[in-house]
C-alpha cells in the first residue's frame, strides 16, 4: 500500500460541507463592493521578493520571518504573497492605473505566511481586500470603514469593535519616535529581546508586542496621538466625525500601530472577543508614501484586508453559517424508462425554475434508499418518477419537511406545482 500524502502544515482543506460560509462571505463582500463602485482586480500569487522587502519593510515580522521565499528555476528570488497591497500597488504603477486616475478596487484570495500554525493563524490563509488609490481622505477613509461595517451588518455578525488610531506623517512620527526611544531606553531592563532589537530599527513596533510581560511598560509609553502634526490631527478628526455621523462606533486606541512599515495617518482594526487571542478580523490603514516608494508618482492611498478564516469561524460560532442543504428538489427514479427520461425532466425543471436546486438520483437504488438520499439532501420535495406513473405521464410529489401527503401531478405541470411549493422557501 502506498503511503498517503499529507497536506502541508498550516494549510487547510475547505471541504464541500464547510464551503457554505465561505461562499456567503465572498458573495456578500462582492455585492457590497459593487454597491460602493469598487471593481475587482486579480493578481499573481507569486511576486519578486524585493517587492515585499521594499514595501512591507525589512524590520517587520512578515519580512523577517514569515515569508515563503525561494529561488525559481531561473535563479530569481520569488515570494508567495503574504498580503495583497504590495502587489496591487505594483500592478497599479506598472499598468498606469494612477495616471490622472483614481482607483477603487478589491481583490481576494490566498496569502502565505510562515507562522506557527494555531487556531485562527495559518500558513495559507485567505483575505478579502479593499483599496482606494488616489484619494487623500478622510472621506474615503470613512467610506472604506463604512463598507466593512456594512459587510458585518449584512452577514449579521455581532460583537465587533473598531479600534482606530492615527500614526501621523513620517515627519511627525520622527519626533514621536525619539520620545518613544528615550522612554524605552529608560526602561531597558524590562524590555524583552524582540523589543530591544526593535529599539533601533522600528521602535513603534514595540507597542504592537503581544508579550504579556511587556504590557506594563507599553501602558506607560508616550502616546502618538499627543504628537500628531496639525494636518494629521484634522484628518483624524474629519474621519471621526464622519464615522459619528454614520453611527459607526469606535474606540480610539493610541497603541494601535499595525505591523507594516508603510502606514501613515489612519490605521484601524476590527476585533472580536469571540476568537481568543487571534482577535483581529479586519485591519487596514492609509499608506500615502507607498506608491512613490515603489517608483510611482506620489499618490495617497488606503486599504483594508479581512481574514476570511476568522470571519468564517465567527459566522459558525454565531450560527450564521447559512444553509447546509444541497437540494430543494430531489428526483427519485424507478425503472428503466423513468431513469432514461429522468435527466430530461430535471433539465426541463431547471429551465423553468432557475435558481432552484434540483438533484437527480444517480446510480440507481431502491425507492427506499433513494428517498433516504432525498431526505439527506435537505430537499423540501421529492419528485417520484416510477415505472407505472411514468407510463401515465404523471409523477408523485412527496413533501419531505411537512406533514402534507403525497400528491400526483402531471409531468407537464411539475414546474408550476414545484414553483408554488418550493420557490420562496428555497435558501431562506
Q: Which residues bind ligand ATP (CB under 6 A)?
A: 83, 113, 115, 120-122, 125, 127, 259, 278, 280-283, 305, 307, 309-310
Q: How far apart, in whole angstroms, are the C-alpha atoms of residue 129 and residue 40?
A: 10
* Nearest approach, Cβ of residue 307 and ligand ATP (Å): 2
Read off the C-alpha cell for 169.
506623517
Q: Tell the smallest beta-carbon distance from residue 14 to ligand ATP (Å).
A: 13
Which is nearest to 386 in space by CA: 320, 336, 313? 336
Rounded CA-CA distance 89/103 in Å is: 11
If phi over 0 gives left and psi between -120 and 50 gives alpha, with beta otherwise, what is residue 424? left
Q: How far is the CB of 56 from ligand ATP (least distance, A)?
A: 9
Closest distance of CB 278 from ligand ATP, Å: 6
Plot region of 363 (φ>0 → left; ψ -120 to 50 → alpha; else → beta): left
Q: What is the rounded distance in angstroms from the CA atom of residue 122 to the CA atom of residue 113?
A: 7
CB of 127 to ligand ATP, least distance (A): 5
By CB atoms closer than 10 A (0-12, 13-18, 19+), residue 197 is middle
Q: How far apart are CA 207 and CA 192, in angstroms?
A: 12
Cα–Cα dist 65/56, whole Å: 12
CB of 61 to ligand ATP, least distance (A): 7
Residue with Cβ nearer ligand ATP (61 or 192): 61
Listed residue (369, 378, 370) closest to 400, CA to CA? 378
DSSP character at residue 202: -
Nearer to ligand ATP, 23 or 277 (CB): 277
Rounded CA separation 208/186 (Å): 19
Specify the length of the chain in residues: 428
Cα–Cα distance between 120 and 275 in angstroms, integer? 8
Q: How far is the CB of 398 from ligand ATP (least distance, A)?
A: 45
In the complex, the smallest distance separating the C-beta of residue 305 from ligand ATP, rounded to whole angstroms, is 4
| Smaller CB separation from ligand ATP, 52 or 122 | 122
Q: Which is nearer to ligand ATP, 108 or 127 (CB)?
A: 127
Smaller CB distance to ligand ATP: residue 125 or 380?
Answer: 125
Please identify, using beta-carbon distances, which residue of 281 and 384 lies nearer to ligand ATP: 281
Q: For residues 213 and 389, what is the distance between their CA atoms, to the nearest angstrom?
A: 76
133 vs 381, beta carbon nearer ligand ATP: 133
Beta strands 251-252 and 160-166 are parallel
Which of 79, 361 has the CB closer to ligand ATP? 79
**Quick check: 70 and 63 in contact, CB under 8 A?**
no
Q: How far is the CB of 217 from ligand ATP (least distance, A)?
A: 20
Sheet containing 77-80: give its strands across. 46-48, 77-80, 68-71
Nearer to ligand ATP, 283 or 370 (CB): 283
Task: Return the number of the residue (104 or 310) whose C-beta is nearest ligand ATP.
Answer: 310
Query: Shortest distance, CB of residue 82 to ligand ATP, whole angstroms?
Result: 8
Q: Kindly report the three-state secondary structure assignment for every residue of 277-328.
A: CCCEEEEEEECCCHHHHCCCCCCCEEEEEEEHHHHHHHHHHCCCCCCCCCCC
CB of 204 to ligand ATP, least distance (A): 14
Residue among 289 and 307 whose Cβ is closer to ligand ATP = 307
Across the strands, what pairs with 157?
A: none
Helix boundaries (H) for 328-386: 336-352, 367-377
Taking CB atoms, the residue at the shortest distance from ligand ATP is: 307
Amino acid at each position: 500500500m502506498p503511503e498517503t500524502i499529507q497536506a502541508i502544515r498550516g494549510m487547510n482543506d475547505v471541504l464541500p460541507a464547510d464551503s457554505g460560509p465561505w461562499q456567503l462571505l465572498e458573495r456578500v463582500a462582492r455585492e457590497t463592493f459593487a454597491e460602493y463602485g469598487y471593481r475587482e482586480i486579480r493578481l499573481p500569487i507569486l511576486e519578486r521578493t524585493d517587492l515585499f522587502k521594499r514595501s512591507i519593510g525589512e524590520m517587520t515580522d512578515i519580512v523577517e520571518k514569515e515569508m515563503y521565499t525561494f529561488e525559481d528555476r531561473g535563479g530569481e528570488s520569488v515570494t508567495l504573497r503574504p498580503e495583497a497591497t504590495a502587489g496591487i500597488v505594483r500592478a497599479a504603477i506598472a499598468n498606469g492605473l494612477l495616471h490622472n486616475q483614481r482607483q477603487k478596487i478589491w481583490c481576494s484570495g490566498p496569502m502565505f505566511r510562515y507562522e506557527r500554525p494555531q487556531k485562527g493563524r495559518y500558513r495559507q490563509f485567505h483575505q478579502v481586500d479593499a483599496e482606494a488609490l488616489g484619494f487623500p481622505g478622510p472621506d474615503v477613509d470613512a467610506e472604506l470603514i463604512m463598507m466593512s461595517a456594512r459587510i458585518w451588518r449584512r452577514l449579521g455578525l455581532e460583537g465587533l469593535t473598531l479600534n482606530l488610531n492615527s500614526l501621523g506623517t513620517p515627519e511627525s512620527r520622527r519626533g514621536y519616535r525619539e520620545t518613544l526611544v528615550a522612554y524605552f531606553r529608560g526602561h531597558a531592563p524590562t524590555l524583552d529581546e524582540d523589543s530591544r532589537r526593535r529599539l533601533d530599527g522600528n521602535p513603534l513596533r514595540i507597542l504592537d508586542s503581544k508579550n504579556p510581560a511587556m504590557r506594563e511598560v507599553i501602558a506607560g509609553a508616550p502616546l502618538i496621538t499627543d504628537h500628531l502634526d496639525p494636518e494629521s490631527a484634522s484628518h483624524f478628526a474629519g474621519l471621526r466625525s464622519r464615522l459619528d455621523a454614520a453611527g459607526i462606533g469606535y474606540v480610539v486606541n493610541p497603541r494601535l500601530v499595525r505591523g507594516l512599515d508603510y502606514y501613515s495617518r489612519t490605521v484601524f482594526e476590527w476585533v472580536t472577543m469571540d476568537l481568543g487571542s487571534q482577535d483581529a478580523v479586519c485591519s487596514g490603514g492609509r499608506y500615502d508614501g507607498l506608491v512613490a516608494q515603489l517608483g510611482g508618482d506620489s499618490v495617497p492611498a488606503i486599504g483594508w484586508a479581512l481574514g476570511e478564516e476568522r470571519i468564517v469561524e465567527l459566522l459558525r460560532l454565531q450560527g450564521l453559517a447559512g444553509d447546509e442543504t444541497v437540494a430543494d428538489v430531489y428526483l427519485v427514479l424507478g425503472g428503466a424508462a423513468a431513469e432514461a427520461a429522468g435527466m430530461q425532466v430535471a433539465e426541463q425543471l431547471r429551465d423553468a425554475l432557475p435558481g432552484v436546486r434540483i438533484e437527480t438520483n444517480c446510480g440507481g437504488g431502491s425507492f427506499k434508499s433513494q428517498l433516504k438520499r432525498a431526505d439527506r439532501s435537505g430537499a423540501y420535495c421529492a419528485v417520484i418518477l416510477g415505472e407505472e406513473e411514468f407510463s401515465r405521464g404523471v409523477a408523485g410529489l412527496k413533501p419531505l419537511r411537512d406533514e402534507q401527503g403525497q400528491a400526483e401531478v402531471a409531468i407537464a405541470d411539475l414546474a408550476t406545482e414545484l414553483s408554488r411549493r418550493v420557490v420562496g422557501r428555497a435558501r431562506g
